Structure 1
Amino acid sequence: MDVSGKVCVVTGAGRGLGRAYAEALAAAGAAVVVNDVDAEAAGGAAGAIRAAGGRAVAAPGAIGGAEVAERLVDTAVAEFGRLDVLVTNAGVLRDRVLWKMSDEDFDTVIEVHLRGTFACARAAAVRMREQGEGGRLILISSPAGQRGNFGQTNYAAAKAGVVAMARTWAMELARAGVTVNAVVPVAVTEMTRTIPAFAPYFQEAERTGEPLPGWLRRDEGMGTVEDVAGLIVYLASDASAGVTGQAIGVGGDRLALWSHPAEKSVAYAEGGWSAEAIARSWSTFEPETYGIPAPKAPAS
């Protein structure tokens, strides 16, 4: 997949998934602006790309407000002449159950994930519309935003909002030829290493040097950060010109299209519904599940 000539901004690209996205885009021919709140990490990632023969420049800064977002776009234009692709990957965690979550815990995560995605996408959209040649907004979401997750009120809300913004912006930017999609990645990162249900498998793989079990890669879609990067390159490429407004999951051996919310069951009552009528009819509905299911190893 060739993205030669394209210029990309990747936020939160100093390590983990973001770095894998930046390196894959550069390997496919793109010039990359590498952002991270950690200036040393951003510089290291950009340096590694250049050492491998790619084009990259570091642009450190904390994602959230308009100033940094606009600076990233300006850097892309100043260094490489244009902007074609934005990948909004930057994120933080402040996990707490509801009754222990502080205002600061909530606001910090919303600021980076939700407001940061908005600010970066707005700055990129302005530039792409001025260029008049289309573009790509690739917004990173999470399974927590699709299903909810214990202890992640802030993160789940932000990531659900990211998908909603992708669907909205896909409509608003269609005439400009800018596609907008949400990616729902699953991979072994510093964030996922601490999940109790997965930790034993990660530790065993690290101890033995063996890959993750095949069932984990297939059934749970859990793999390496490199397993996710191919989707980013595809969505950045001309081959994905007809793909917009979608939430696409990827990880391990698994590629998935998440459904849009839709009415699952419908009932009617002439004249409207009283509380008593709803109580009588509720048993005809099959409730939806919620939460991210724990992995289940196949019986040996």
Structure 2
Amino acid sequence: MGLLQGRAVVITGAGRGLGEAYAMHSAQAGASVVVNDIDVELAEQVAERIRTFGGTAVASGHNVADPEQAAQLTEVCVTEFGRIDGLVNNAGLNYETAPWDDDVARIRATVEVNLLGTIYCGTAAMRAMREQGTGGSIVNISSGAFFGQRKLATYSATKGAVASLTLSWALDLETSGIRVNAVCPVAHTRMVWASERSLRSIPAELSPSRVAPLVLFLLSDSAEGITGQIVRMKGRQLHLVGQPYFKQPVLERENWDPHSVERAFYGVFQAHLEPFGLEKRVPPRLQELMEPSLPA
């Protein structure tokens, strides 16, 4: 019996790349799958391949950025398979640009698909899962880019929001038996091929299929009790992403003014400034402290 035998799942952006891998592996594990992609022909091709090897799948061309269409995805799953047990919020857009050259239309589209699409699909699915009363699993696809990455500001912002959303949903749904986790996958996909990053940071051997077992685990009952986690997978590497926290020292003062804030930064905080971005860029002030002083 497969890991997802008897379960029904919706996977968005499943016409190619990571989403296709999640759909194929879920079906092979016994799940009935709604294969969603705004390119419905690609979705149908994946669904047909699943049916060819004896799996169960239907294709959907619903647009996750439209709240009504996103809700219909859950309706399709319940109508076709009688239930919904899992959702993988994989649909996403990405592009590279310097932030001062960013285009309003592309910004809006990226936010609508990556963030609003995740919200629309997730809230519809959790309503149905709560009504069923049998629990379920939502897997949101985030990215390590939310740490900060050059020329990916809008994308990074949406993926940071997805990570935060995951933590809030996990809190809201823990009494409903619905687990919510996020995956930060690193894989060689069409989204990366179109990017210059593919030439310097994404090894060609990183197949989307390498990430699928993590998503299958999080969808399954084997992950019972695992919720509110952000997990990164890159080839051989599997690790948790640390949660944000309030850093020590915490300074207290009855009233803060610009001068006392300045003294706090240059008298105390300068030794505790955080490197930023995936490349761990060091702030200039911290760099000064790290440089050895020259002998007189």
Report what 1:120 is aligned to.
Answer: 121
Report what 1:239 is aligned to.
Answer: 222
- Stretch of structure 1 that moved more, 155-164 or 57-66: 57-66
CA 1:197/1:49 → structure 2, altered by over 3 Å: closer, same or farther?
A: same
Report what 2:276 is aligned to.
Answer: 289
Show CA shifts across 1:90-140 (max 9, x none): 011243211111221211100000000000001001100000000101000
Deviation, 1:25, is 0.4
Report what 1:257 is aligned to.
Answer: 240
Q: Could you tell me the percent identity over the aligned residues?
A: 38
Bigger radius of gyration among the two = 2
Deviation, 1:289, is 2.8
Once residues 95 and 202 of structure 2 are traced to their aligned partners in structure 1, the CA distance between those partners, rounded to angstroms, is 22
- Aligned counterparts, 1:203-218, within 5 A: 212=205
Once residues 177 and 151 of structure 1 are traced to their aligned partners in structure 2, the CA distance between those partners, rounded to angstroms, is 39
Question: Are 1:102 and 2:88 matched, yes or no?
Answer: no
Once residues 283 and 158 of structure 1 are traced to their aligned partners in structure 2, the CA distance between those partners, rounded to angstroms, is 30
Report what 2:165 is aligned to.
Answer: 165
Show CA shifts across 1:28-68 (max 9, x none): 00000000010110000000111111110001122112211
Report what 2:263 is aligned to.
Answer: 277
Report what 1:14 is aligned to.
Answer: 15
Give the ranges of 4+ consecutive aligned residues of structure 1 lying more than 6 Å apart after TM superposition: 200-203
Report what 2:286 is aligned to.
Answer: none
Deviation, 1:191, is 1.6
TM-score, reference length from structure 2:
0.88
Deviation, 1:240, is 0.4
Deviation, 1:200, is 6.5
Deviation, 1:182, is 0.6
CA 1:289/1:55 → structure 2, altered by over 3 Å: closer, same or farther?
A: same
**Which amino acid in 1 is paired with 2:118?**
T
Once residues 98 and 153 of structure 1 are traced to their aligned partners in structure 2, the CA distance between those partners, rounded to angstroms, is 7
**8 Å contact 1:144–1:292 — kept in the other structure?**
no
Once residues 236 and 285 of structure 1 are traced to their aligned partners in structure 2, the CA distance between those partners, rounded to angstroms, is 39
CA 1:110/1:275 → structure 2, altered by over 3 Å: closer, same or farther?
A: same
CA 1:202/1:143 → structure 2, altered by over 3 Å: closer, same or farther?
A: closer
CA 1:293/1:48 → structure 2, altered by over 3 Å: closer, same or farther?
A: farther
Deviation, 1:275, is 2.7
Once residues 251 and 88 of structure 1 are traced to their aligned partners in structure 2, the CA distance between those partners, rounded to angstroms, is 19
Once residues 280 and 74 of structure 2 are traced to their aligned partners in structure 1, the CA distance between those partners, rounded to angstroms, is 39
Gap runs ≥5 in structure 2:
282-296
**8 Å contact 2:187–2:202 — kept in the other structure?**
no
Q: Give SS of 1:191's match.
A: helix
Gap runs ≥5 in structure 1:
206-211, 213-222, 295-300
**Matched residue count:** 276
Q: Give SS of 1:264's match.
A: coil
TM-score, reference length from structure 1:
0.87
